[in-house]
Amino acid sequence: MSAKMTKKELQEKFGIIGRSKALSDLCDIVLQVAQSDISVLINGESGVGKEVIAKALHGASNRADKKLVSVNCGAIPEGILESELFGHKKGSFTGSTEDRKGYFEIADGGTLFLDEIAEMPLTTQVKLLRVLETQEFMRIGSETVTKVDVRIIAATNKNLQQEVNSKSFRNDLYFRLKAVTLYIPPLRERKEDILPLANFFLLEYSVKNKTEFRFSSEALDLITSYFWPGNVRELKNTVETAAALTPNEVIPADTLLNLINVGMTDEEKHNLPVHLNKSPESLDREMIYRALIEIKKDLNELKSFATSVQNGSVDFEDKMEMDEIVPLDSLERKAISNALDYTRGNKRKAAKLLNISERTLYRKLKEYSI
């Protein structure tokens, strides 16, 4: 059945939304390599949909009736990743009160998707390479070899060649994985896909909430003109949040502008389109809103500085010297705290905002006792 799957069926079944040539070419390659058991490396920025492509590769393969097991290598602490992947025997380490299967055994006969493969520790990379070459491994604490039949799909948002050059990724594992490399371009490089995706997410939200939302013409202009640094994930979250905040069925540009302004630089804000077909009142509101954003930012900075002065930690005469000698760990601690406040304690989202792995974030939280 999977061998006869057409490109249209592939896109519909796995939610691969878009009409760009880049996406069409990608789907052609997915259909071509899905039938083999060769390892596949998916490369692309965070949020472009690497897991969606991994599901399509598995679903279009002869393993479709078996399990697809997804593992985020950056979200599992280094000390237990090996146990999670390969399993362990009872008593092999403190807390191992029973035998446990790892993800390789769970995925036997199917596919194992290793997301954020660049975050995998070097010691674990050695064992992964052995499994790729021999399809066998030993559980931690076991002397018995376990054989499996697992296809590996890996994904990363990093340049693995650079990781190899910096000695943080094994050269032999990289060459083993990159036999088939699928690159997913960022959304800003395939603008033809933006509106189909936005309308798909809005329809999905509308059906779920039993209503009928639509975008205003100005909102559509803004959606297609924005560069979406968070790619498909950011677009989906923005559309759903905008719909939730809209009291009627027409989502205005102002609501979207409010959402995408968060975290943008001044240059990025000014690069957003000015719609000549807007009424003077609408343009005035937009300009006022942007000005308020800037004022709020300035007030927050002044408030922070005033608090420091009040506490006696900063003197006006010494401010420049103090700014120049702020310890890096203090800046890092503040950045982590701000990210956690912004995401309301969601560590996965905070890690993405900080551009670090979840494992690194957990280590920093422990290091700074946050």
Residue-level pLDDT at 303: 59
Using a CB cutoff of 8 Å and minimum separation of 24, what contacts does 244-249 make?
A: 246/213, 249/211, 249/212, 249/213, 249/214
The whole model's pTM is what?
A: 0.71
| DSSP-assigned letters across all residues of 269-295 | HHTSPP-TTS-HHHHHHHHHHHHHHHH
**Which pLDDT score is estimated for 279?**
47
Whole-angstrom Cα distance, residue 222 to residue 215?
10
CB 169 within 8 A of CB 163: yes
Question: In the 3-class helix/strand/coil scheme, how is 158-183 assigned residue by residue?
Answer: CCHHHHHHCCCCCHHHHHHHCCEEEE
- Summarised one tens digit per residue, pLDDT across range 114-168 is 999 999 999 999 999 999 999 999 888 888 899 999 999 999 999 999 999 999 9
Q: Looking at residue 77, what is its pLDDT?
A: 87
Q: What is the mean pLDDT of each run of 10 residues along the chain (370 residues)?
A: 76 96 96 94 96 97 96 89 86 67 95 96 94 91 90 96 95 93 96 96 94 94 93 96 93 91 54 46 47 51 59 51 59 82 81 82 84
> Over the chain, what is the mean pLDDT?
84
Each residue's pLDDT tens digit, 102-122: 999 999 999 999 999 999 999
User: How are beta strands 136-138 and 145-147 bridged, if at all?
Assistant: antiparallel
Q: What was the pLDDT predicted at 289? A: 46
| Structural domains in the chain, sorted by start | 2-185 (3.40.50.300), 187-278 (1.10.8.60), 282-324 (no CATH), 326-370 (1.10.10.60)
**In which element (H, E) is residue 43 found?**
strand 40-43
Per-residue pLDDT at 322: 46
